[in-house]
Every structure is written in structure tokens, then in C-alpha cells.
Amino acid sequence: MSIIKTHNITLYGGNDIDIILRPLSDEHLPYLYKWCADPEVLYWTEEGVADDDLSYGPDVVHQIYGWVSQNAHCFLIEADGVPIGECWLQKMNLPEVKAMYPEAWDVRRIDMCIGEKAYWNRGIGTQFIGMLVDFAFCSEHVDTLHCICGDYNVRSRRMWEKHGFTRVLAQPLPQPQKGQWQYHYRLTKEEFCERRR
């Protein structure tokens, strides 16, 4: 039995770099094991205290991706043919966020990780997040995207803002944490369409 529930959607894009988002599947688990075992990668993807030794083993990787993939389109990110990370478009799973919107709305979140550090700070995240945003609104007909990041993750904050997300909530984090605040960003279908005009 498969750990990761896969799908059949592949997305293509990129500017100066060829980016392909492939359906994430069990054959990609060795990459996930590698990236989830790296404390430097997890520093940017996981909330909590700054833990120089944080590392997830295969059992935790199976739990995370097995659970998330039940309600998400999970993708392997390739840049010029090299697997560099993963991302997903997930049905919103946080009750306190869902309560912010009309009950009938399709609210989703985007999560991402570039696990290959040689590809950090090259604008790749901004490019493939744009691909996911287009997929969410144009193919999935999502009503709103609601994404969350810590105040310490300046690169992530700038990326959301480049795509027209606005900060709608700042929550103080119980200390000790890596940051002081958790920021919530939102982009609605109407805002997306207005930006496309």
C-alpha cells in the first residue's frame, strides 16, 4: 500500500530555469528523507524553537506526507531536471482559519520546502509558487488562498507579497520560538483576477 496518495497533474513553468512540478509519490521518499533529516532545512519549514538538531526520520516523514496527501495536491519540484524540493496545495486544515471565511468557500493553503540548499536565494520559490497560485485559481477554482509564515522568515514573507498576498493577521507566538509573530497572508479569487487584468 502506498504511503503518499498521488495524483496525475504535472505543472510546467519557470523563467530562466525550467521548473516542473511533478506528482509526489512514494518513489520520491528518498528525497523527502534527506530533506527532512537536515536541521538547516527544517529551520525554515517547521515552527517552534530554533533546534540545531531537529531531524525527522522515515516514520515521521511517512506520517506527514501520508496524512497531508489525503487532502492535497503534493508535488516534487524539479529545476532544470534536478529534484530540489516539494510543495503542496492543501485544503485548509486549521479550524480557526476556516472560521474566518464563509462556510461554503474553498479555502486552501500552500506549503513548500526547497531542500537542496544550492538552490536557495535564486528566485525559484517565487516562480513555482506562482505556478501553484495559477493552478489553485484557474484549475481548482479556489475561493481564497491562506498561507502562514513566521516573522523571522523574511524570504517567505516577501514571496507571498510578490504574488499579491496581503497580511490579514499577526499572532504573537508563545515564547521561546524562532520568531515573535506568526503572519497570515491571504489572496482571494477576486484579488487574483484583478492582478491578472
User: What pLDDT score does 55 carry?
Assistant: 95
C-alpha cell at 9: 497533474
Rounded distance, CA 177 to CA 130, Å?
29
Q: Any idea where the domains of the chain sit in the sequence?
A: 11-196
User: What pLDDT score does 123 carry?
Assistant: 93
Cβ neighbours of 17 (radius 10 Å) = 17
Each residue's pLDDT tens digit, 13-62:
988 899 999 999 999 999 999 999 999 999 999 988 888 889 999 999 99
CATH 3.40.630.30 fits 11-196, yes or no: yes
More confident residue, 197 or 27: 27
For the beta sheet containing 107-114, the strands, ordered from the edge strand earlier in sequence to the opposite edge, are: 11-13, 19-23, 72-79, 82-91, 107-114, 144-150, 181-188, 166-172
21 touches 11 (CB < 8 A)? yes
Cβ neighbours of 77 (radius 10 Å) = 28
C-alpha cell at 145: 488562498
Rounded distance, CA 6 to CA 125, Å?
22
Percent of the chain clearing pLDDT 70 (strictly above): 100
| Nearest of 6, 21, 16, 31 to residue 116 by alpha carbon | 31
Q: With 90 as the cut, is the pLDDT of residue 93 above it? A: yes
Rounded distance, CA 85 to CA 119, Å?
9
To the nearest 5 percent, what fractions of the chain are helix, strand and coil?
35, 30, 35
Averaged pLDDT of the chain: 96
Average pLDDT over residues 147-168: 96
Q: Where are the alpha helices (DSSP H) in 69-188?
A: 95-98, 124-134, 154-162
